[in-house]
Structure 1
Amino acid sequence: MGHRVAGRRGERGSAVVDFVLVTVLLVPMVIGILQLALVLHVRNTLASAAGEGARHAAVAGSSAGAGRAKVEELVDGALSADFVRRVDVHPVRVGGAAGFESVVEADVTLLGLGGPAVHLRVTGHAVAEQAAQP
């Protein structure tokens, strides 16, 4: 006759409990890491687009409108339009010289799906080129 190992009966179902306890800790941590990655990606993309938009507006013969269009083109090519809330390019003084500032504001929701949002505001600056004098 077979002998049963003492104490085995009390461990039935313990693997399920262990799985649930680990999952309860692991899933929020993974979602948090994914959210952080999304926010950093959006922030870096917006910062790059803002800088490029300011530089585009600062080129001799260009305008703030052209800089704004450049920002929107770059953002549309890399992100969903749902993120961006406002794009503004306007003339400013940069270190005492004439230049342009590009401001991009966005809201990044939980994994891009909805819910509470992280508000981002990034800026880019560029000194305006001066047209060559004959």
Structure 2
Amino acid sequence: MLVGALLTVLTLAVLQFGLAVYVRNVVHDAAVEGAFHAALADTTLAEGAERTRTIIERSVGGQFAQGVDVVETTHLGHDAVQVTVRATLPLVGLLGAPRALEVSAHAPAESLQ
């Protein structure tokens, strides 16, 4: 009985860890995609933020797409776009600590000059 309970808790913990890693990877990939979209010469920063939100909403849900910030910056000495996403870190199922997960992505800014 005790071993069965321990194995059940261990299995659930591994599944929860896998879910947390999956959410982190989805949020990071969405930030990368949004940064590259916003860095295009004919798009705006707002369009990059919207693309990031859309990818996150379609993949894991809207509650993970609340804190998306896009800014122009310099990265490694070149003009760049940075997308930062602050999302919920899932601790029990998809419920968890709000804004505990933060990822950033950079993309080189494109220009028409």
| TM more than 0.5 | yes
Quote the offset at 1:121 in angstroms. Answer: 0.6
Answer whether contact 2:84 2:104 (CA < 8 A) is retained: yes
Equivalent in the alignment of 1:64: 45
Answer whether contact 2:53 2:65 (CA < 8 A) is retained: no
Answer whether contact 1:51 1:124 (CA < 8 A) is retained: yes
Q: What RMSD, in angstroms, separates the aligned Cα atoms of the two structures?
A: 1.5
Equivalent in the alignment of 1:13: none
The unaligned stretches of length 5 or more in structure 1 are 1-19
The unaligned stretches of length 5 or more in structure 2 are none
Q: Distance in 2 between matches of 1:130 and 1:83?
A: 31
Quote the offset at 1:109 in angstroms. Answer: 3.1
Output one character per residue of 1:110-132: Cα deviation in whole Å (capped at 9) or x when no partner: 111x3x53821111100101104
Say whether residues 1:111 and 2:100 are aligned partners. no
Q: Distance in 1 between matches of 2:17 and 2:61?
A: 17
Answer whether contact 1:34 1:111 (CA < 8 A) is retained: no
Q: 1:100 aligns with which of 78, 81, 92?
A: 81
Q: Distance in 2 between matches of 1:99 and 1:83?
A: 25
Calculate percent identity across the aligned residue pairs. 31
Output one character per residue of 1:78-116: Cα deviation in whole Å (capped at 9) or x when no partner: 01112334111111101111110000111123111x3x5
Q: Distance in 1 between matches of 2:57 and 2:63?
A: 10
TM-score (norm: length of structure 2): 0.90
Q: Looking at secondary structure, tell me which structure has more strand per residue.
A: 2
Q: Distance in 1 between matches of 2:62 and 2:109?
A: 29
Q: 2:67 aligns with which of 50, 67, 86?
A: 86
Count of residue pairs brought into register by the alignment: 111
Equivalent in the alignment of 2:27: 46
Matches within 5 A, 1:3-22: 20-22=1-3
Aligned AA (1:38): L
Equivalent in the alignment of 1:4: none
